[in-house]
Amino acid sequence: MATPKQQEQHWRAPYELHHGVNAVHGGEVQLESYEILHHLRGYTEQQHRQHVWIYGGRVPCRMEDLVNLGGGMALDFFNKTVPIFLLAGDDERRGIAHLLLITLHNHIYRKWFRPYRTDIERGQFIAKLIYCHDQPDTSDDSAAVDLVMRMRTMINTQLRSIRPPQFYAISPLMKALSIIVPGQNYHSCDVMSNLGSMRVLVLVTGETEGLSGPISFDSIADRAERVTINGMSAVKTDLDTAIGFTTELEEREVAAFGPQPDPVAASTGNDPESDDALYHYQQIIAARLGWKYGPLIGPSSRWVDMERYPEWTGGGAQMDAVVMECLEKNAWKYHRSHCTCNAWRSG
């Protein structure tokens, strides 16, 4: 029976509770093959979450970076479904970006990710968060859309000059759609407490190449206000509706063309940043833990026997419950110590 402390650490895998975390992570014990595969999937989930957060929220971005994209920052635009532009707002009602970045990342990731089963080998994620801390002020929807389209042009011009590695592509939906979060819509921390209800703009850019069909807002007509901004079709809705709408469109495209990149093919080859074999480190870990079945065969979304592991445990679960949760709590703690949101409410 698990001790109270072990019950608190619900992310721990059964073999970690049995052998001890240090023994498992230090390769001091031999595990069964299904335990090794579970451990490796957890490691892969952890690395994916860390990478998405670093490039999507933690790394500072300036406007000039958008025309000088390279390396991991450029690569992070590939294999994403929709860009989400976080705008600063204006001098009178600026958004609280330092708090929104981590809360938004956690909120969206938890909606998108299916433990053990989501394909993550090539940086796939539903959203690419874009926030430039030196962006110009935007006081209304017209200015917001104008800025976003200028940022999109800068990004697309640079990405078109880059030859992407194998299995990396800019998805048609990434070109066709944008979610915009005006700074005026998150200028108070009250919004962060109910993030799914935060108001956003969903903008159709007019780029349709590669889509299986036109984009229609009919499926969310009862939860959205149709608008035309600077001649472009858009809706005003809440964040959760926008994410759900994006997911529906992604599922439509997968039904038409299959998952992109192909999960099996994309699990071969090398990592584009390290140039090591994709599962290089997983293979080393597996060997230390007693793996006897040769090269690992992906995708990792097929590694875990969910009858043996019905609950989410391992490295990915720990990353979510400990690291990302701690980052969000610390952001809240910092904000509360400097909070001026009451001034907004009383002003």
Segment 201-232, tens digit of pLDDT: 999 999 999 999 999 999 999 999 999 999 99
Is there a domain that residue 136 lies in? Answer: yes
- Is the pLDDT at 193 greater than 50, yes or no? yes
SS3 229: strand
- Is the pLDDT at 7 greater than 80, yes or no? no
Is there a domain that residue 242 lies in? Answer: yes
Q: Report pTM.
A: 0.94
Question: Tokens 């679960």 sit at which residue?
Answer: 317
Is there a domain that residue 305 lies in? Answer: no
For CA atoms 195, 198, 201, 202, give the dihedral sign: positive
Is there a domain that residue 33 lies in? Answer: no
Convert the pLDDT of each residue in 24-47 to its tens digit.
Answer: 999 999 999 999 999 999 999 999
- Cα dist from 302 to 114, 265, 267, 277, 298, whole Å: 12, 14, 11, 19, 7
pLDDT for position 173:
98
Is there a domain that residue 341 lies in? Answer: no
CA distance 133 to 86: 10
pLDDT for position 95:
77
CB 163 within 8 A of CB 203: no
Q: Which domain holds residue 64?
A: 54-261
Is there a domain that residue 277 lies in? Answer: no
Number of domains within the chain: 1
Convert the pLDDT of each residue in 263-288 to its tens digit.
Answer: 999 999 999 988 899 999 999 999 99
Is there a domain that residue 290 lies in? Answer: no
CA distance 209 to 37: 39
| Count of helix runs (H) and strand runs (E) in the chain | 14, 6
Is there a domain that residue 275 lies in? Answer: no
Convert the pLDDT of each residue in 52-66 to its tens digit.
Answer: 999 877 666 899 999
- Cα dist from 314 to 37, 48, 107, 218, 304, whole Å: 11, 13, 20, 40, 11
For CA atoms 236, 245, 148, 200, give the dihedral sign: positive
CA distance 158 to 91: 30
CA distance 89 to 93: 6
